[in-house]
Structure 1
Amino acid sequence: MAITAQQVKELRESTGAGMMDAKKALTETGGDMDAAVDWLRTKGLAKAAKKSGRTAAEGLVAVAVEGGTGVAVEVNSETDFVAKNADFQEMVRGIAAKALTVSSLEELLAADMGGKTVQDVVTDKIATIGENMTVRRMAKLTGGKVVSYVHNAATEGMGKIGVLVAIDGADETFARQVAMHIAAVNPAALDESDLDPAVVEKERQVQIDIARESGKPEQVIEKMIEGRMKKFMAEVTLLNQAFVVNPDVTVGQAATEAGVTVTGFVRLEVGEGIEVQKEDFAAEVAKVSQG
């Protein structure tokens, strides 16, 4: 299949690879973007398997905690200006409080909020403020004790990143430190058992391919893979990560010292995973002039 310039551009932006390397990777993998990223990593031409993380949406993540239950809700707006609007913030606070009483995003949108559904409240606010808004995500967490933390808070209980941490134990100060760690480091899972097996297997396969490129004996390759997978787990699982408060110990070790068991966490970041739609201004002008 023909590889387009746009595909090459996207792969370059997501991996930092050179133009010719990106084109070759796409050619070798039949235009499969994910496979091309892995191909580049195997050849040592990409630093990570992450896609471009550009985010388009603005808005707020609000957190609310009641007893052993916590909730985080993302409400998007088109501009950061609206996210700083007191009326918008009041609506988001009300939506987060309502989220404590439901179990899913669908239930939340249909829930009663002052005589209207949450969805109708948002629709009315769109008409009032004149900017598109959406309740995008909701995540709920239960545990012996749930602690919340907001990074870059716009006002109390809401900001750009919202984190919930569930613990068994009494040390809320430690739990809040863990929440701050999660906000900064963004782990993919609590521990190895919590990781998606497909993610683990994909990483293992990439590391096998990288190791075999070295041309070393099979027994050496096995040890290389074992060491690299251990490093991978230390990078992406919360309990195995070096604790930002004290990098000499892992989060799991610090929890043991604090007499706490971390049982779960939630991290929501505004606009996470939403692709930016970049307009080609010159193409738009040409299109209009031809019309």
Structure 2
Amino acid sequence: MAEITASLVKELREKTGAGMMDCKKALAETNGDLEGAVDWLRKKGLAAAAKKAGRVAAEGLVAVKAEGTKGAVVELNSETDFVARNETFQDFVAEVADVAFSVDGDLEATKAAQLPSAGKPVQDALTDLIGTIGENMNLRRAGGVSVSKGVVAAYVHNAVKPGLGKIGVLVGLESEGDVAKLEELGKQIAMHVAAANPQFLTVDTVDTSAVDREREVLSEQARASGKPEEIIAKMVEGRLRKFYEEVVVLEQAFVMDPDRKVKKVLEDAAKEVGAPVTLAGFQRIALGEGVEKKEEDFAAEVAAARGA
């Protein structure tokens, strides 16, 4: 039997919002398996979250660059927001985005590529910057989007400068239509992606393990109602459609016009731009997503310092 620690119970509570005793019981029932405990609580109706956003704790900046039919986005973390406001740091992140753009958003290729202003690889230049500023930093993520014809549009949320902010989004629209109108549409779709945080492009691209897991949880919830199996099957399929509407960008209600799904917005745009429009891909990076900063106990820190 795995040890059920207080920190594990605390993490489960933060994920699900369930009570402490329910969390302890869930962990005991699943032998300390955190994700299994989340599912156990959901099956019992004690946690409603189908998915959760990672706690955003890391500081730094996200940068995007998009031109024509390609774009890149990078995330560079720092320890404090003070560094993120440093112009030297901001200029560095913007230049790294330029480098990432030249290598199609590949993270390792970006680290290894030359940073023009430093005359050395990005990773080596970052090491130098760490020494200059005196704070640890990490080029954590990079991504790219490209299309053969059409546009790649970019959007930055909470921008501190053009192309620099807290959330960076790229959207690739494949089309032979009017470029200026495609740019405008792409910006709107990118803003939607920033707000709605879709996980997948189409229903067909949804991870099968995620669907299987969701189906199992929904089946258990439906069985608790005591209805016949054939009714349960219909209930599950209906709820799965709602699941797709939450995680698949084309199935989501468009943030700027909730009466239409994103796929309908694209269909309707064909007349405006003069040609069919396909959402070929997207990238969304939110600063510090999935990274937890160490929680500091200031009183304990002062006490330890006095003891020293």
Give the RMSD, CA atoms, in angstroms: 1.9
Cα displacement (A) at 1:52 = 6.6
1:127 & 1:6 partners in 2: Cα distance?
A: 34
Letter in 1 for 2:113: A
SS at 2:168's partner residue? strand
2:115 & 2:299 partners in 1: Cα distance?
A: 46
SS at 1:141's partner residue? strand
Equivalent in 134, 137, 158 of residue 152 of structure 1: 158
Q: Which residue is equivalent to 2:252?
A: 241
- Percent identity, aligned pairs only? 55
| Mapping of residues 258-277 of structure 1, within 5 Å | 258-259=269-270, 260-277=277-294
1:69 & 1:276 partners in 2: Cα distance?
A: 33
What per-residue deviation string (whole Å, max 9, x for no partner) do you get for residues 38-75 of structure 1? 00011110021435722221111111113211100001
| TM norm structure 1 | 0.94
Where in structure 1 are there 5+ consecutive unaligned residues? none
Number of positions where the alignment pairs a residue of Structure 1 with one of Structure 2:
291
What per-residue deviation string (whole Å, max 9, x for no partner) do you get for residues 190-235 of structure 1? 1111211111111111111111121111011011001000010011
1:46 & 1:32 partners in 2: Cα distance?
A: 16
Letter in 2 for 1:74: E
1:96 & 1:232 partners in 2: Cα distance?
A: 34
Q: Which residue is equivalent to 1:164?
A: 170
TM superposition outliers: structure 1 runs of 4+ over 3 Å: 49-52, 279-291
| Mapping of residues 278-289 of structure 1, within 5 Å | 278-280=295-297
Cα pair distance change 1:50/1:29, threshold 3 Å: same
- Contact 1:54/1:276 (CA < 8 Å) preserved in 2? no
1:126 pairs with 2:143: no
Cα displacement (A) at 1:280 = 4.8
Equivalent in 214, 221, 228 of residue 210 of structure 1: 221
Equivalent in 179, 186, 192 of residue 197 of structure 2: 186
SS at 2:160's partner residue? strand
- Contact 1:62/1:74 (CA < 8 Å) preserved in 2? yes
1:165 & 1:52 partners in 2: Cα distance?
A: 21
Cα pair distance change 1:154/1:12, threshold 3 Å: same
1:87 & 1:227 partners in 2: Cα distance?
A: 52
What per-residue deviation string (whole Å, max 9, x for no partner) do you get for residues 173-206 of structure 1? 1111110000001001111112111111111111
2:289 & 2:301 partners in 1: Cα distance?
A: 28
Cα pair distance change 1:244/1:80, threshold 3 Å: same
Letter in 1 for 2:64: V
| TM norm structure 2 | 0.89
Letter in 2 for 1:140: G
Q: Which residue is equivalent to 1:257?
A: 268
Q: Which residue is equivalent to 2:82?
A: 81
Letter in 1 for 2:123: Q
Where in structure 2 are there 5+ consecutive unaligned residues? 271-276
1:189 & 1:17 partners in 2: Cα distance?
A: 28
Letter in 2 for 1:157: G
1:174 pairs with 2:185: yes
Letter in 2 for 1:106: E
SS at 1:188's partner residue? coil
Bigger drift between 156-165 and 64-73 goes to: 64-73
